[in-house]
Structure 1
Amino acid sequence: MHIRDAKIEDAKRLIEIYNYYIKNTAITFEYDEVSEDEFIDRMKEIMSFYPYLVIEDEGQVQGYAYAHAFYPRAAYSWSCELSIYLDHHAKGKGYGRKLYEEIEKALFKMGMTNLYACISVPEVEDETLTNNSAQFHAHLGFHKVGTFKNCGYKFDRWYHMIWMEKIINEHVIHPSIKAYKDI
């Protein structure tokens, strides 16, 4: 098992992982598969400031995680949102925990204070969505801070969305922040 910074050359594999979730789950509320050009543009924007990591096992990328802006206002600069996607066959192998541990270390060094996760949750678990993501985040120290009822519609069903938060750094006066590439 090896974690490294993502490269643009990883895009095809990452799209394969992500598009599975678009087509088959309500984990993401996107409806349409993402094109390679669009995905690469997203990667470049994120990697210009935040960490974007992949986990490999036996030479094959098994998943990825990245941080991105929580909200585009200067006062939110010390807060970021995390996203993680694993190959749907790779769950239960510890990849998610390893990715989150590494990305949290990087974000701590950058000066981030608040980590957020936006998670879709079902009223009742079904074949497209369970509570696994919320449970995963809770296990890693995130706490639920808000619920948006029936705000996402996919596969002819309504789903809730929750926000979870984890504080990783002290909230000090005159905080500083560094880009991932500068730590």
Structure 2
Amino acid sequence: MSPVPGVAGVRLRPATAADAAALAAIYAPEVLHACASYELEPPDAAEMARRLAAVEACGLPFLVADMAGQVLGYAYASPFRQRPAYRYTVENSIYVAAGARGRGLGRLLLEALIGRCTALGYRRMVAVIGDAGNAASVCLHRSLGFAEVGLLPGAGFKHGRWLDWLMLHRPLGEGDSTPP
């Protein structure tokens, strides 16, 4: 893939199984010390490789931001729900390594993910933010056209506190204005 405008040396590319250890390393601190994920034990590289393969098996994008061979962040789309009527809706997930935040990588990854999912014919993207107080994630999603559609107070308990679950969404392509 070509270089990313505005972020010198960074390339967005599809994730590969060889990235699994880097994906696990980026995700582990989020599981252990933050509330973006409701997991309590970080998955290892083998599990991340399995998750990547599951996304690929659905024909959905799983992207990484790579600088000189180092994965700095990743984003992927997954099916929103399993029932057939949800087949035009995807959910996004984005994680950026702690040392790479504030450079616009999350925005670049999410913009690319939105573009890929739109090109694949999906009509709606959902963001489920596990900690409604995660201002950076909420701001990123809102800046790219996501609107809040629901709040589930006390949906999870992690790190000694109850977490509010925030759902946002945005249309892709023609959204729900025309049949697929």
Q: Gaps (5+ residues) in structure 2?
A: 1-9
Moved over 4 A (4+): none
Deviation at 1:47, TM superposition (A): 1.1
Deviations 1:6-45 (A, max 9, x none): 0000000000000111111011111011122222111101
Deviations 1:50-100 (A, max 9, x none): 000000123311000000000001111110000000001111101111111
Q: What are the within-5 Å matches in structure 2 for residues 12-161 of structure 1?
A: 12-48=21-57, 49-122=59-132, 130-161=134-165
Greater RCO, 1 or 2 (C-alpha within 8 Å, sep 6+): 1
SS for the counterpart of 2:110 is: helix
Q: Number of paired residues?
A: 168
AA at the equivalent of 1:14: L
Measured in 1, the distance between the counterparts of 2:107 and 2:45 equals 27
Q: How much identity, in percent, do the aligned residues show?
A: 31
Measured in 1, the distance between the counterparts of 2:48 and 2:65 equals 18
CA contact (8 A) 1:121 1:134 kept: no
Root mean square deviation of aligned Cα: 1.2
CA contact (8 A) 1:53 1:99 kept: yes
Q: Gaps (5+ residues) in structure 1?
A: 176-183
Q: What are the within-5 Å matches in structure 2 for residues 167-182 of structure 1?
A: 167-170=171-174, 171=176, 172-173=178-179, 175=180
SS for the counterpart of 2:162 is: strand
Of 4, 9, 28 in structure 1, the residue corresponding to residue 18 of structure 2 is 9
AA at the equivalent of 1:142: F
